[in-house]
Amino acid sequence: MASDTATPLRPGFADPTLNAQQVFRRLLEAMAQPGTLSELDCPLEPPRPLAPATAAAALTLFDGDTRVWLDGQARSPEVETFLRFHCGCPLVADPKAADFAICLAWPQDFGTFAWGEAAYPDRSATLIVQVERLEEGPGLRLSGPGIRETAEVAVSPCPADLAPRWAAMRAEFPLGLDLILTAGRRFCGLPRSLTIAEA
């Protein structure tokens, strides 16, 4: 007899190959054109509290060789079962050991994660940070590669000290972190090459 306390498993992509390709294109667009919002265009109902865009990024980017760290809000039996079953990714307890992190709250210290090494800056973490709202408009002013002049994106919630924290990390470029912001079905990329200021 099945246990009534068994952790339920939510379905992943309806068409794993096609949907992952679609989402990968959206993520590439988001990272290549920071400040431009991309939208998930396939059905997905992940376990709470993951937003569809967060889960879609995980299903697309994580695999058996991807070490994943979950923050306290993301760490639940339902989410862990979903990721282990659909992605096969190992979940790690040390954020420094993570290739990717899912953060449902902004990390208080970017230095908690690996920024890469001088000879291998690509050995750094990518953070998927889930927020409540992502919209084009005043909030953060972005400049840098992929942006003609500046782009503005409204992010809520957003740490009041994000701009100086980002500047401190940017000073170590090419070391640092890349961020994928998600909200609902939307993606927004914040690669480490950006300059961020308050709009």
Question: Tell me, what's the pLDDT at 198?
Answer: 83
Q: What is the pLDDT at residue 199?
A: 73
Write the CA distances from 60 to 87, 100, 172, integer angstroms: 8, 12, 29
Contact 44, 20 (CB under 8 A): no
pLDDT of res. 2:
46
- pLDDT block averages, 10 residues each, the chain of length 199: 64 95 95 93 94 98 98 96 97 98 97 96 97 94 94 96 96 97 97 92
For residue 8, what pLDDT is reported? 80
116 contacts 192 by C-beta, under 8 angstroms: no
**Domain spanning 16-198, CATH class:** alpha beta
Question: Where are the chain's structural domains?
Answer: 16-198
Q: Note the pLDDT of residue 6.
A: 65
